[in-house]
Amino acid sequence: MSDSKLQSLGGVIVATALPYREDAAAPAGLAVDHDRYAEHCRWLVDNGCRGVGPNGSLGEYSSLTDDERRRVARTAVEAVGRDGVVVVGVHGPGSHQARHWAQIAAEDGADGVLCLPPTMYRANRGEIIAHFEAVASVGLPVMVYNNPIDTKVDLTPDLLAEIAQIDGVVAVKEFSGDVRRVLEIRERAPGLEVVAGADDVTLEALLMGATGWFAGFPNVFPAESALLYELATAGKLEEARALYEPLVAAFRWDSRTEFVQAIKLGMEQVGRYGGPCRPPRGPLVPEHRAAVTADMDRAIAALARRRAA
């Protein structure tokens, strides 16, 4: 579906979890299961999500070899075809690495890219702007990613207003958790799409004018997540809240250190394949596993009651 003229990166785009299979010859004894990954991408789009986002933090991009990282993005593009958008994570320590991954994404048919500030360096304002200028120069629509928890760089609304002046920067994935920022970003950078980044403040962000959700738990609940987005953006607050509230306890895991393992466990609980993670992520400790299971059980039960009503 690649089209360099695509401007909107809104809707529900799923930051896809990545399945592995055991293989003693692969890094950490785990090889990417591309067949399962392709099926998962297809399932998400078939269940109402607008598209997928390979090679994000949830996709464990930093644990992949360069060859694996490229093939994962290609797999997503081929699986989705013209039925959805593919927004590829191009995060890198420096602008030359991020720009390289953006060029690769463009060659492989991506519709847009998601990009953090420099990932291993607390960049200053000028360096941040230069970083995004380099990525945008490739020509694909760019969604900048504000995740001050992981990067220690905060793309504040005033800084985003400056970044939004870069040709090709069309959206921000806002993961600060501060929903007050949605309106301030819209005020300071009215042409920039604000995309909810943290699942457990999604409804609040959408009600304040966010036009997208770059999401984690739709790996588990794609159809219900697409419905939540539709209800919220249509202003159907009562219906949206009734759907959202039973899910929030599970959604909170999207903002915790163990979010990848938690979402993969959630996938297992609804009959999907989640599987293990590569280092540095290990298995959930027993108390976390029990907590995720309980939160997911409540969400699954609530959705079952909803379907039966």
Average pLDDT over residues 18-46: 98
CB distance 75 to 37 below 8 Å: yes
Give per-residue pLDDT as tens, 108-145: 999 999 999 999 999 999 999 999 999 999 999 999 99
Residue 77, φ and ψ in degrees, nearest 5: -60, -45
Nearest one of 91, 133, 85, 134 to 110, comparing CA atoms: 85
Q: What is the predicted pLDDT for the residue at 6?
A: 56
Catalytic residue among 20, 173, 229, 244: 173
pLDDT(3) > 80: no
User: Domain map of the chain by residue range?
Assistant: 11-235
pLDDT(170) > 90: yes
Active site residue 152: no
Contact residues for 135 (Cβ-Cβ < 8 A; gap 6+): 90, 95, 98, 99, 102, 113, 115, 142
Average pLDDT over residues 263-290: 98
Going by pLDDT thresholds of 50, 70 and 90, the confidence category of residue 4 is very low
Residue 279, φ and ψ in degrees, nearest 5: -60, 150
Active site residue 229: no
Cα gap 258→254, rounded to integer Å: 8
> Angle 191-148-115 (CA atoms, 0-180°, nearest 5)?
55
Q: What is the predicted pLDDT for the residue at 7?
A: 62
Q: What is the predicted pLDDT for the residue at 1?
A: 47
Going by pLDDT thresholds of 50, 70 and 90, the confidence category of residue 8 is confident
CATH of domain 11-235: 3.20.20.70
Going by pLDDT thresholds of 50, 70 and 90, the confidence category of residue 25 is very high
Catalytic residue among 145, 229, 244, 264: 145
Please, what's the b/e burial string for 31-47 (b: 16 or more CB within 10 A of its CB; e: otherwise)? bbbbebbeebbbebbeb
Entry pTM: 0.96
Residue 210, φ and ψ in degrees, nearest 5: -60, 145
Comparison of pLDDT for 151 and 54, the residue scoring more? 54
pLDDT(16) > 80: yes
